[in-house]
Amino acid sequence: MDFSTEACDWNKAADSTLLDAKSDCIVVGVFDAQTLFGAAKRLDSITNGLVRRLVKSGDLGRKTGATLMLHEVDGVGASRVLLVGLGKPDALDPKTFTNVARAAWHAVLATRTTSVMWMLTQVTVNDRNSGWSARMSVLTLRELVYQYTRTKSSPAADEPHGSAIKRVIVVVNPGDKKVARIALKEGIAISNGIDLTRELGNLPSNICTPTYLADVAKQLAKDWNLMVEVLNRQQIEALRMGAFLSVAKGSPQLPQFIILQYQPFGEKQAPVVLIGKGITFDSGGISIKPGENMDEMKYDMCGAGSVLGTFRTIAEMGLKLNIIGLIPTCENMPSGYANKPGDIVTSLSGQTIEILNTDAEGRLILCDALTYAERFKPAAVIDIATLTGACVIALGSHNSGLFSKDDALADRLLAAGRYALDPAWRLPIDDEYCGQLKSNFADMANIGGRPASSVTAACFLSHFTKTYPWAHLDIAGTAWKSGSKKGATGRPVSLLTQFLIDWAK
């Protein structure tokens, strides 16, 4: 799918010839008013008032995001014209624009259109520029055309068989062409990273094993000139990562510790470290989970998947920033070798942990990765994990949970999430909650009981982050969808990428 830009001033006759260009579909936005602007006004003019009549008659519909497909319109070079309702001009905020764009792409994808002239990027979105609109136009289309086919012998009869779209021309106002061209490249790169994250999440755990994730990291390194190191069980044992290894020992699948390095500045710049939880299947271990929906525990590696997807994105973008990725990955299974409630393990930091619940395993693998991160002298560390069901209860599927004691770092992540429409919500991580982790037999327990359990999980991790600015993203509610639309979402690749773009600036 090829994306390019064209600049157009509809008040200039020479530019207005863009409507004469041959394509399969032109997408034009129409505000909820009798007054027409830009492309809609010019289209109305050359069709002798057709757009105005359709708006007045109600054929387009008053609902924001309503669409009306017109065929073989006289005076227009495209075989189709899609009119899209934009609502009121002062109400076109970023979320509304994205919903409108998604509705428009749905209508286009319902046809066999191969080339599209996309003019929604000329409308003004509150608090955003045309570059943002161009990026989101790419992201919404790529989100809709993604299909999981890896383990299907053939598509189901009621499923679309992929997009026919081959070319999209994004039309912007004069003076915006350069920023839009950059934004398109960002949108394509982010979409590629999201697709990788979604694909990894959707793969079954008998394919997407710890070794498989390590192989994906190695391929990324090869394709994008990254540095990669994968530590095996013996090397992890030599490091004394006792907490990580305790989770892995119940499964015949061998643990892997993946270290990715993207360092355009060598060692001259302190890196940002991303740590992704990589439990490729979480049975709960001896504290086994209920059978219902346990298949969704293949998604417990979505933190790791988001780190790999983000590295895919920033490498394609050529971002000028040092970034380290750490992925501890293993399975959490019940067996005669598995952790038992009451076991005590020693972490890489030397702190001891009483395991009261073997289903609280993500924090055990993350804590050793957080300690390992110290050797890079990082500017900031962010861990990403499908960590707690309590976060789903608290925030649902709209916001990822954000925990940090560093206000500046938290504010940067929140701002990035708002801009990227991949939002997070900050939850408390006060010292008072740490008391729930008290153990009579070790330095701390791995759970603090049911009250505020997503908070105490973050408090547990905070014990291993004393030497650098740190934030924790709990993506248990946002990394995948359940039900009839079951599948990985690719979040929070957009949030992380925007955060890194802002940090690089």
- Alpha-carbon gap, residue 294 to 300, rounded angstroms: 11
Kindly name the residue from 198, 363, 412, 491 that is annotated as catalytic: 363
Quick check: is 102 catalytic?
no
Positive or negative torsion for Cα 40, 45, 50, 54? positive
Is the distance from CB of 418 to CB of 91 less than 8 angstroms? no
- Alpha-carbon gap, residue 45 to 459, rounded angstroms: 63
Is the distance from CB of 206 to CB of 41 less than 8 angstroms? no
Is the distance from CB of 270 to CB of 379 less than 8 angstroms? yes
Tokens of 367: 């804590």
Query: If we measure between CA atoms, which residue out of 375, 370, 381 comes closest to residue 272?
Result: 381
CB burial readout 85-110, b (16+ within 10 A) else e:
bbbeeeebebebbbebbbbbbebbbe
Kindly name the residue from 289, 405, 418, 481 that is annotated as catalytic: 289
Query: If we measure between CA atoms, which residue out of 363, 321, 328, 370 comes closest to residue 349?
Result: 370
Can you point out the beta strands (E) in 19-148? 25-31, 67-71, 80-87, 115-118
Q: Which residues is 424 bridged to in the sheet? A: 400
Running DSSP on this structure, what letter comes out for residue 437?
G
Amino acid identity for residue 153 in this structure: S
Quick check: is 150 catalytic?
no
Catalytic site residues?
A: 289, 363
